[in-house]
Chain A
């Protein structure tokens, strides 16, 4: 079959640019020879596309590790219409002319994918409430669509000694699914790779050689490619949940020629809590003019002021994403009309929430912190007219009741 494929390829080259007809879930599409089934399915889009945890179209050599993109090939090609005996990884299998692929229409695929998800979740901790990736995690989405409610695993989950890999990136090895994307980023985007996967099998872990800090430029892109919460932004750590922040597209003229300067800012009010690269519909870093929009570490970790950036507009969020619950529909603040109507008089507030509430204090700027917040960072609110709770008769009564 391989030989036959080679012959066809040569024939194709002799002809003009020939395309292969491939049918995925009863939808036929013409693609260039050498396209993988996954990329052909992505051209169709929607539910036809198999999910991918390790494959990343912008990283050369990625894919073939997680097995979530398994599909059934019902007919190999027009020349040899026999079905493939086993499910194949769609990110690694190239299409043939007349190939018939079944993804969501195949029960075998759904069943196998459920199994793969269960395996991925065997050692993955269920710490989504603490994890900063929650809300934009591909494994969370995958588990939501394919996972079981409970676990059948009775043994202790794999744990690791915590390792500090530098001031910018937080490593949570327990959450890692070993997709190898971050190592590809380090190989292909940064100047030098300092980290890799050490040990084998169950013990395999992302690590640096003798706890070296990963600080070379462009290493922050590891955070963006990580499909789970294994690599997260330390400067954003625990600052806010993703779905409470306001994502806006912004750009700046970065001095670094390799940096594209186009990013998504995750704001609270006017404070930049986090900077990430812009993502496309597959959760991958967007391409601009054929070049992948990686951003440098300066843009990502050091430009935490709105004045550093030119804001282009609100980021479009998929309506299936929980991030949409932030309810930001527009960037324009509605005009205050009370003064106009009341001939210049200010509205009399019954209660100014900022004078009572200790949350979202206007005097505390979390974006200035380069580390996760601590309790002491919030107690600086001494200037607040704090309400003496003990004098409140109602609360006293309540405490007696308890």
Chain B
């Protein structure tokens, strides 16, 4: 039969030589390779204790952003939801009441905001669609869980820590991303 590729190699069926039949030399050869690896650079790290830096284009768990005064950026415009190819994002909008100006930046805000992490494919289109710099993909993984219902992330999980009440965690969550300039 004609070979489909030129990478074909025939299996040799000839009987083993005496050297090969001795068995031990081959064992020592293999052991030497194993031994030599002790002195080579380790390609792995001890994961939970040590972590690798993320690539600047890494797309991880979503975060809902706040502005420098701690007000939520999201106005529930629905552009992330309409851009989402996996239809993972849902929200309910509400009107800001007098006295809530320190909580929400615009007169409309997302009263409920949910991302179904079972559906999310981390494509980053929500971040791209957002006109308010309200959602971006952070440098964290979605943690594993035993129950499906734990993967419906709501605002309490997605919101970034308050920049004034919790400045250290806010900075950590913000990561090393350059902040998108908002169109005004």
Contacts and interface: CB of A to CB of B under 8 A. Distances in A.
A397 interface: yes
Contacts of B95: 237-238, 371-374
Nearest to A134: B77
- SS class, residues of chain A in contact with chain B: loop
A243 B140 contact: no
Interface stretch (B7-15, B33-41, B150-158): B150-158
Report which residue of A237, A353, A359 has the largest number of chain B beta carbons within 10 angstroms of its beta carbon. Answer: A359
B61 interface: yes
Interface string B83-108: 00000001111110100000000111
Given A241-B77, A359-B114, A402-B173, A129 B132 contact: yes
Interface in B144-184: 144-145, 148-150, 152, 154, 156-157, 161, 169, 172-173, 183-184
A351 B75 contact: no
A29 interface: no
A392 B145 contact: yes
Contacts of A398: 61, 140, 143, 157
Interface string A379-402: 000000001010011110110011
A333 interface: no
B108 A130 contact: yes
A325 interface: yes
A362 to B, nearest CB: 13
Nearest to B76: A238
B183 A126 contact: yes
B82 A373 contact: no
Interface residues of B, number: 43
A27 B108 CA distance: 47
A65 B65 CA distance: 42
Contacts of A357: 90, 114, 116, 152
Given A358-B154, A374-B97, A378-B94, A394 B77 contact: no
Contacts of A244: 78, 81-82
Contacts of B154: 358
A58 interface: no
B120 interface: no
Contacts of B150: 387, 389, 392, 394-395
Contact of A401 (B91, B107, B140): B140
Nearest to B82: A325
A239 interface: yes
Contacts of A241: 77-78, 82
Nearest to A162: B107
Contacts of B81: 244
A270 B76 CA distance: 22
A253 interface: no
7 contacts: A126-B184, A129-B131, A237-B95, A350-B148, A357-B116, A359-B92, A397-B143
Q: What are the 3 closest A-B residue pairs judged by CB atoms, nearest first?
A: A394-B143, A129-B77, A372-B95
Given A243-B82, A375-B94, 5 more contacts: A238-B93, A358-B92, A358-B112, A360-B92, A373-B92
